[in-house]
Chain A
């Protein structure tokens, strides 16, 4: 493979890194810490809050005592801690995880678990977090009520120290309020709906998330325009949509419609359908309808087993030849081997705007190369964005704990001390530069989409020709959701509100080129 190392196993030995596994771990640690320091430096340069010398109440077995001590501060928000009062527990750090471990959603859910376990094992081999080994307790993610029930069981009965997980956009808005109430540090990986921090949990403390949804619908919508323009020399006018009927599909559609109506006010919404998900086996009527209305482009957010049924049937109808440009935001988001080589080439390839294991190029991002190689070695397949998200989140947590530990000079930090560190966290992760924004606790990384191509060596269809848009160009600016967006107003999310208010009619937004 000349530029892209499609299969790290196939890279000739002389081209592979000479670094040992331990050295690579060191690089990752360095990048994590380096990223954090970089971010810290930014915050140091920024105006800081006044730090006051205070005493802190520490609860110890027996009576509550007030222990005076020096104040340690970190850049940004005030954090007051007391050294030496809390020894690092000798018990393992329990991480509760919920993800889809079976069914049509498993192609997204199982990789999340695998990414988390991969990170946990690497961390344990490197000595744990402040010497504490990490343990993962996994529970199946299910419908909303059951997921909330299991979440509470993890927190209250299993007494987890940290929660990492969730795939569904139906579940994160339901779990978030419980996480805040139970004060359990909960790092969501997906469940990406913007509604979580725009509407449900507007001032988050204990809840963070690896990524969010609006860049997904938007970049793939622009990718449709770009591919159509590349093919015909002009922009599309007739749009059609087929989405799974739940929060994710509905919001992909909403963001795409907001953007299209601004950029191309004369566009035609030729057809839109929301299909029962998961479990739809027959798409023939939907396919026929789309062939009837003859759209220029079709945006979909179908994925997993349902998407496979859709594209198989669509092939039989000659759909991908009849429809000039098609993209599904998640066609390539499941584990990479999922799409076989019968998948059509040259159509849009969506990965939730997030991560495809060959980008950033493996020879240019040692973290990505390390991650892909080690993940493949362990699981015998390549990681998807959920695996990357879970892996990154646990490493971020480790970095945050160690950073605050260094400041308090001993003692296991409390959750309230870890939160401010995470709120300004930045690191180089396998997907590239990733940072958490303080005002909404979302992780930000630049959005990616691509084009499908079969790779005979890998034996599956993959993403190529990556198309990037800076994430801040297709998402609401900081504090928009608090200061401008009205959750009871007409727009479903802060980004939709921002598009409606600021994008100019008939123009591409700043930072977007086709």
Chain B
């Protein structure tokens, strides 16, 4: 029985790991630009598509250990590239405007990116299996197995969480981003290029989403509509954890990941409802989420 509980636990951690990457990107962008970016799911999907496409092209030509690095770089680069284009060209124009404009624009971007995915990669799901199968599985007792690649994803989530904490609290750029999020006028007044900070922050958020999409690909498929599903859960995370809070994104991801596992195991018909029930309870008692701020 304890083996099964352990399996549930790591299943929850696995889901929380890549969900955190997406939610962290969403929350970082909102924290600074105050834009609820519906296109964020599309950036996750771009990461997935680019990784799947590139691995399909070169996986047989490169040694297996490189696969895992290529996946991350490909996903990050693909989403960052899209971020570089859409932030200055489109999103910048709706900063500070009504939420309706922002939602409409980011939803339009989501749809445009989906159609571009269709144009570039065709109608069928893309998949690559080598990195998932290559690492094999480990016995966890009681005749149960767990794929080692799952541990890679979990480790990646925690490492990136650690990196983000370090980046935001210990590096100059991170401190400037936090400063701009608190007061962009003062940040500009002391000589920082706020536009550039916005762009860099957006690219960081996009990169996180892209990595999230890429690292899940060895065990899934890149298909149109991929970004919508994850977005629903990522929003639940930021509602629970608080928009703009990285700590909130981390704890929110763990809550959502674990709740989902419990829901699937014992209340499969209301798995999603359970997650949103928690979100509603948090909203009632802490309208800004667990670590949200005005």
**Which A residues fall within an 8 A CB radius of B?**
101-104, 106-107, 109-110, 271-274, 276, 278-282, 284-286, 288-289, 291-292, 304-306, 308-309, 312-313, 315-318, 322, 338, 340, 342
Contacts and interface: CB of A to CB of B under 8 A. Distances in A.
A317 B7 CA distance: 10
User: Of residues B15, B123, B125, which shows the largest number of chain A Cβ atoms within 10 Å of its Cβ?
Assistant: B125
B239 interface: no
Contact of B221 (A102, A292, A308, A322): A308
Nearest to B136: A316
B125 A102 contact: no
B198 interface: no
Q: Top 7 closest A-B pairs, CB basis? A: A316-B147, A305-B125, A318-B145, A103-B224, A106-B123, A285-B264, A281-B220
Interface in B144-189: 144-147, 149-150
Contact of B146 (A286, A304, A308, A316): A316
Interface in B1-39: 4, 7-8, 11-12, 14-15
30 contacts: A103-B123, A103-B223, A104-B224, A106-B125, A106-B224, A110-B124, A271-B268, A279-B225, A279-B226, A279-B228, A280-B229, A281-B226, A282-B219, A282-B220, A284-B150, A285-B261, A288-B265, A305-B125, A305-B221, A309-B219, A309-B221, A312-B127, A315-B147, A316-B133, A316-B146, A316-B149, A316-B150, A338-B124, A340-B127, A342-B129
A306 B12 CA distance: 19
B137 interface: yes
A292 B142 CA distance: 10
A289 B260 CA distance: 12
Contacts of A107: 124-125
Nearest to A245: B269
A25 to B, nearest CB: 30
Given A274-B269, A285-B261, A317-B144, A291 B123 contact: no
B8 A276 contact: no
A340 B150 CA distance: 22
Given A107-B125, A288-B7, A318 B229 contact: no
B226 to A, nearest CB: 6
B118 interface: yes
A276 B233 CA distance: 13
Nearest to B11: A284
A317 B145 CA distance: 5
B202 to A, nearest CB: 24
B132 interface: yes
Given A106-B125, A281-B230, A309-B219, 19 more contacts: A101-B123, A102-B123, A102-B224, A104-B125, A110-B123, A271-B268, A273-B264, A274-B269, A278-B223, A282-B14, A282-B15, A282-B216, A282-B220, A285-B12, A289-B268, A305-B223, A308-B221, A316-B150, A340-B127
Interface in B104-148: 118, 123-125, 127, 129, 132-133, 137, 143-147
Given A279-B229, A318-B137, A292 B4 contact: yes
A318 B144 contact: yes
Contacts of A288: 4, 7-8, 11, 261, 265
Interface in B241-294: 260-261, 264-265, 268-269, 272
User: Of residues A102, A107, A338, which shows the largest number of chain B Cβ atoms within 10 Å of its Cβ?
Assistant: A102
A289 B261 CA distance: 9
A12 B257 CA distance: 55
A291 B7 contact: yes
B147 A317 contact: yes
Nearest to A273: B268
A103 B49 CA distance: 12
Contacts of B144: 291, 317-318, 322
Contacts of A282: 14-15, 216, 219-220
A281 B216 contact: yes
B15 A284 contact: yes
Nearest to A305: B125
A285 B275 CA distance: 15
A484 B221 CA distance: 45
Interface in B200-225: 216, 218-221, 223-225
B227 to A, nearest CB: 9
B220 A309 contact: yes
Contacts of B260: 285
A289 B150 CA distance: 17
Contacts of A292: 4, 265
A308 B220 CA distance: 7
A285 B4 CA distance: 11
Given A110-B123, A276-B229, A312 B223 contact: no
B145 A316 contact: yes
A25 B4 CA distance: 59
A273 B263 CA distance: 11
A291 B224 CA distance: 30
A313 B223 contact: no
A308 B127 contact: yes
A498 B123 CA distance: 40
Contacts of B4: 288, 291-292
A104 B132 contact: no
Contacts of A304: 125, 223
User: Of residues B127, B133, B147, B220, which shows the largest number of chain A Cβ atoms within 10 Å of its Cβ?
Assistant: B220
B261 to A, nearest CB: 4
